């Protein structure tokens, strides 16, 4: 027996091939992302996402036990590819170079149209689902901040960062320098730094000022 969905015109029922599984996962995540962006967290539903994807809602629930789990999976999918660059660098790379690569990713995340749209979804959802938003943001943010803090501590131990600086405060200042202005302006509708050339120029300015302030 054959069925029809957005993965193709026809597909036999039964256990899907591995490539079909990955394609189906991406179909679910991409459809969910656009639905969350267009309808907001509260307005989106697994039923609507399944209808837009052309699949049964049971297919989604087999993979994600709730709308909350699906939303988190969308966020993780959006950011996973961006971290491949920094993660591919050798562990022996200078910690400040690793930190630079990670900060470039953070700037991109807070400057792209999809990234800004998801921030708006989170802000809107925080009115009715504050605990959900807080736990989601912490789950996404804390590992990133923890790694950045680890790199700053290592750089300080190696003598690349002044010994009189509190690295925990420094990590927060760096985050504000890199993403504060682009995120604020993007959230209110300014095109901001969506252009990669402008984004690169902004980053170079912010990063060079950061380095001048931390050097021994």
Q: What's the confidence (pLDDT) of residue 191?
A: 67
Region at 164 (left for phi over 0; alpha for psi -120 to 50; beta for the rest) = alpha
The CATH number of 95-214 is: 1.10.357.10
Q: Is the pLDDT reported for residue 13 higher than 50?
A: no
Q: Please, which pLDDT band fits residue 8 given cuts at 50, 70 and 90?
A: low
Other beta carbons within 10 Å of 139: 12
pLDDT digits (tens, 9 = 90+) for 62-81: 999 999 999 999 999 988 87
Least confident of 72-81, 99-108, 123-132: 72-81
Nearest Cα to 206, choosing from 171, 185, 177, 181? 177
pLDDT at 1: 41
Residue 176's CB: how many other CB atoms inside 10 A?
12
The first and second tokens of residue 68, run together, are 């909350």
- Looking at residue 14, its pLDDT comes to 46
Nearest to 147 by CA among 87, 74, 68: 87
Quick check: 105 and 86 in contact, CB under 8 A? yes
pLDDT value at residue 58: 95
Q: Which CATH number fits domain 21-74: 1.10.10.60, 1.10.600.10, 2.40.50.140, 3.30.465.10?
A: 1.10.10.60
Gap between the Cα atoms of 40 and 118, Å rounded: 9
State how far the Cα of 30 lies from the Cα of 6, in Å rounded to an integer: 12
This model's pTM is above 0.85? no
Residue with the larger pLDDT of the pair 15 and 195? 195
Per-residue pLDDT at 6? 59
Distance CA 178, CA 189 (A): 19
Extents of the domains making up the chain:
21-74, 95-214
Q: Where are the alpha helices (DSSP H) in 44-180?
A: 46-53, 57-63, 67-80, 84-88, 95-109, 113-125, 130-157, 167-175
Q: What pLDDT, on the 0 to 100 scale, is given for residue 11?
A: 47
Between CA 126 and CA 119 the distance in angstroms is 11
Three-class SS of residue 129? coil
| Interval 159-186: pLDDT, tens | 999 999 999 999 999 999 999 999 988 8
pLDDT score recorded for residue 50:
96
Among 67, 50, 68, 53, residue whose Cα is nearest residue 131: 68
């Amino acid at each position: 027996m054959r069925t029809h969905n957005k993965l193709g015109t026809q597909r036999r029922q039964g256990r899907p091939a591995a490539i079909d599984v990955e394609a189906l996962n991406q179909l679910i995540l991409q459809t969910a992302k656009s639905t969350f962006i267009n309808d907001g967290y509260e307005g989106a539903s697994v039923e609507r996402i399944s209808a837009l994807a052309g699949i049964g809602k049971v297919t989604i629930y087999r993979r994600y036990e709730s709308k909350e789990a699906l939303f988190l999976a969308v966020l993780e999918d959006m950011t996973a590819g961006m971290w491949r660059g920094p993660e591919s660098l050798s562990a022996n790379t200078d910690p400040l170079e690793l930190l630079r690569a990670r900060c470039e990713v953070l700037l991109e995340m807070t400057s792209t149209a999809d990234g800004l749209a998801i921030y708006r979804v989170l802000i809107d959802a925080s009115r009715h689902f504050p605990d959900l938003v807080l736990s989601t943001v912490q789950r996404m943010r804390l590992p990133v901040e923890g790694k950045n803090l680890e790199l700053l501590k290592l750089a300080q131990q190696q003598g690349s960062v002044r010994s009189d600086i509190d690295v925990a405060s420094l990590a927060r200042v760096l985050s504000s320098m890199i993403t504060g202005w682009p995120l604020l302006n993007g959230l209110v509708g300014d095109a901001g730094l969506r252009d990669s050339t402008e984004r690169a120029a902004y980053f170079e300015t912010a990063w060079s000022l950061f380095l001048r302030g931390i050097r021994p």
